[in-house]
Chains A and B, each alone.
Chain A
Amino acid sequence: MSPAADRPLLEIERLEVEFDTRRGVVRGLRGVDLSIGRGETLAIVGESGSGKSVTAQAVMGLIDVPGRIVGGDVRWKGHSLLSRSRARQARDIRGKEIALVFQDPMTSLNPLIRVGQQISEVLRRHLGMTRADADLRVLDLLEAVGIPAPPRRAKQYPHELSGGMRQRVMIAMAIACEPELLIADEPTTALDVTIQAQVLELIAGLQETLGLSVLLITHDLGVVAGLCDRVAVMYAGQIVETGSAEDVFERPAHPYTQGLIRSTPRLDDHMERLVSIDGAPPSLLAPPPGCAFYERCPIAEARCATLPPLIPIPNRTAGSVACWRATTNAWDSASVPPGELRAV
């Protein structure tokens, strides 16, 4: 085996992204480290503004004015996707070897072009197929993503398809060039729960049959649990915890992860009261110099005013956390109901 074979497909190193806004510079990503191996499924979990989608956009080269990458690197099979001298190669890799599925299939499909033609365009541009070959391949792809009656569907316009069907078309387009990495940015957020389940099963199935690596970006812990091997939790533009899905769900080390899991109601649980993480994430116009969770953390102490590094969690094979008091149970004392309310 050559050394290139054991290195991760995608490596993100100390990545920093900023956005210019009228109110100042927003520090969207503040030093993100991540890697994805071949055939691996990694989820980035976080809330709005945590930087999870910006990470995906940086990989896909979609950070555009007013945003810019100000530090760090993104490497694909060891080669930088950001260096100017390799910009052409990077463009070829994106879309072909790395494909992206967006949240909202209605706004990412062209409403004026038949869906079959949109897929065949990808095949002709990236793989140089002839129109006839591409049109045939489109039917295979539509079938592969579980769309019934492909010849009829290929001739339809996006508005004639339901939300679930449109997302399947997006996935067909993404896998058209047989990518090695599929980035799915909130792929099921706009869908109903039964349709969501179908789309997730489709992604899991493709992952297995095509040996895809999947980078799933989501705020929904339930979606992560069924699909992913590894989880990275983001907060305020940084990664605060990584680990195997089992470790992160069963033994969350960071107080934010612990709170997130216990503030999510479960279908199979009978919790009387959810953990409520008071407050809101800090503004990234002027992020705090220390731990970004300091203000909301029930176990914060003086040293938390200094930024904790992301370091391996002791006694675990994989997994890291950025917290001075990692693995301390943060929410037990805080989960007492306030009971302070009185009638108006």
Chain B
Amino acid sequence: MSAPMTLPPDETAAATGPILSVQNISVSYDGGRSGFWAHASPVKALDGISFDIFPGETLGLVGESGSGKSTTGRAILRRIGVTSGRILFKGRDITTVTGEELRQLRRHMQIVFQDPYASLNPRMSVLDTVAEPLIVHGLVASAEEAREEISELLRIVGLPRDAQDRFPHAFSGGQRQRIGIARALALKPDFIVADEPVSALDVSVRAQVVNLLQDLQRDLGLTLLFIAHDLSVVRHISHRVAILYSGRLVEIAEREALYDTPIHPYTEALLSAVPVPDPKIQKGRKRLVYRGEIVDAGHWPSGCHLHGRCPHATEKCSIEPPPLVEKRPGHWAACWHR
């Protein structure tokens, strides 16, 4: 999986190969300055990440705050630049495309944001909001022209017919997220990045949106990168799951393999920390305690980023970062000792 796959950009290869291939990408942000006259020093947010997403699958991307999961999504959508590495979409290198080419690319890749309150313009009606991508890409001249199409989109995401002419404030959080999903679907993209799409929603509403995304993925054959910190939701919705820790991918596998037989010590610790809503089970569960806390980007240690907290760490772990290798068929992990 991490082996760079060079695919010719023709139709047949795109049908069998990954729709998206992320190859060893790193991203740095401008960091703080150490003094008034000092130069801002770059802070690494992603450190050599590689994975593939195949057509029609949902890949769950999990990590704690600062692990780089949102950065990964933004880099793939070309909202931020990468410092090194390549991103292939349908076999084509999109790492540096610009201008009209980038605009065309964006028709095929869309995003659903976390906060349905902040990501909708309160002064735009639902019709205008969902039609905007169509207008921007010159597919329709005005929102009115797209009324039919948008009525169908709203039906698909489960909003009432009369929603078109109303404004965001008239909708609950779950309904707003449906509007955001309809907007993402408007250009009929093949690939959607959903960045924490249900984290801001209440429990009972969360299930509505999770079910909707699952249905859309299945019925429209979408490919989904589902970014979240909630391992229970990710288990429910994903076919494969990738775990990030401090800017590196530490494990990626089929859902069942990752949750039932995790390989990386960090994945084990993370899974053991997730509470199960069942008192009999939860009160008897044992949590793996890792000392210390996640180190901020900019202060990452040498070697394996987990070595200071990991009970299995040896001297090698503090010197040499472990590569992501296939430990079992289809199950990749980055650890010297597993």
Binding site for B on A (CB under 8 A): 47-48, 162-165, 192-198, 200-201, 219-226, 228, 245-246, 249-250, 259-261, 263-268, 271, 273-278, 280, 337-339, 341-344
A337 to B214 alpha-carbon distance, docked (Å): 11
On whether the beta carbons of B269 and A194 are closer than 8 Å, the reply is yes
On whether the beta carbons of A263 and B203 are closer than 8 Å, the reply is yes
On whether the beta carbons of B283 and A260 are closer than 8 Å, the reply is no
Residues of A within 8 A of B7 (CB): none
On whether the beta carbons of A194 and B64 are closer than 8 Å, the reply is yes
In the complex, how many angstroms separate the beta carbon of B246 from the nearest chain A beta carbon?
12
A260 to B207 alpha-carbon distance, docked (Å): 9
On whether the beta carbons of B232 and A265 are closer than 8 Å, the reply is yes
15 example contacts (A-B, Cβ-Cβ < 8 A) are as follows A162-B293, A194-B270, A197-B275, A221-B277, A222-B275, A223-B275, A224-B277, A224-B279, A264-B203, A264-B207, A264-B277, A267-B232, A277-B205, A280-B172, A344-B188
Q: A196's contact among B215, B273, B277, B278, by CB below 8 Å, is which?
A: B273
> What mask results when residues 20 to 42 of chain B are scored 1 for a CB within 8 Å of chain A, else 0?
00000000000000000000000
A201 to B208 alpha-carbon distance, docked (Å): 32
Question: Which of B185, B207, B233, B275: most chain A Cβ within 10 A?
Answer: B275
B interface, size bucket:
35 or more
Flag whether B325 is at the interface (Cβ < 8 A). no
Q: B207's contact among A192, A198, A263, by CB below 8 Å, is which?
A: A263
A343 to B185 alpha-carbon distance, docked (Å): 11
In the complex, how many angstroms separate the beta carbon of A250 from the nearest chain B beta carbon?
8
Flag whether B202 is at the interface (Cβ < 8 A). yes
In the complex, how many angstroms separate the beta carbon of A53 from the nearest chain B beta carbon?
14
Closest to A226 in B: B282
Residues of A within 8 A of B269 (CB): 194
On whether the beta carbons of B278 and A225 are closer than 8 Å, the reply is yes
In the complex, how many angstroms separate the beta carbon of B151 from the nearest chain A beta carbon?
12
Closest to A280 in B: B172
The interface residues of chain B, by DSSP majority, are classed as helix
Q: B276's contact among A163, A201, A263, A267, by CB below 8 Å, is which?
A: A267
Give how many A-B residue pairs fall within 8 Å (CB-CB).
142
On whether the beta carbons of B282 and A225 are closer than 8 Å, the reply is yes
B255-278 CB contacts (< 8 Å) to partner A: 259, 269-278
Known: A164-B293, A276-B207. A193 touches B229 (CB 8 A): yes
In the complex, how many angstroms separate the beta carbon of B278 from the nearest chain A beta carbon?
6
Closest to A164 in B: B293
Q: A265's contact among B152, B208, B210, by CB below 8 Å, is which?
A: B210
Residues of A within 8 A of B287 (CB): 197, 201
Residues of A within 8 A of B153 (CB): 344
In the complex, how many angstroms separate the beta carbon of B46 from the nearest chain A beta carbon?
18
Known: A260-B204, A343-B219, A344-B188. A266 touches B278 (CB 8 A): yes
Residues of B within 8 A of A273 (CB): 211, 214
> What mask results when residues 43 to 69 of chain B are scored 1 for a CB within 8 Å of chain A, else 0?
000000000000000000000110000
Flag whether B94 is at the interface (Cβ < 8 A). no
Known: A274-B211, A280-B174. A263 touches B206 (CB 8 A): yes
On whether the beta carbons of B202 and A48 are closer than 8 Å, the reply is yes
Residues of B within 8 A of A259 (CB): 204
On whether the beta carbons of A226 and B232 are closer than 8 Å, the reply is no
Residues of B within 8 A of A196 (CB): 273, 275
Closest to B220 in A: A343
Known: A48-B202, A192-B229, A265-B236. A225 touches B270 (CB 8 A): no
A249 to B185 alpha-carbon distance, docked (Å): 37
On whether the beta carbons of A341 and B275 are closer than 8 Å, the reply is no
In the complex, how many angstroms separate the beta carbon of B213 from the nearest chain A beta carbon?
11
Flag whether B231 is at the interface (Cβ < 8 A). yes
In the complex, how many angstroms separate the beta carbon of B224 from the nearest chain A beta carbon?
15
Closest to B63 in A: A192
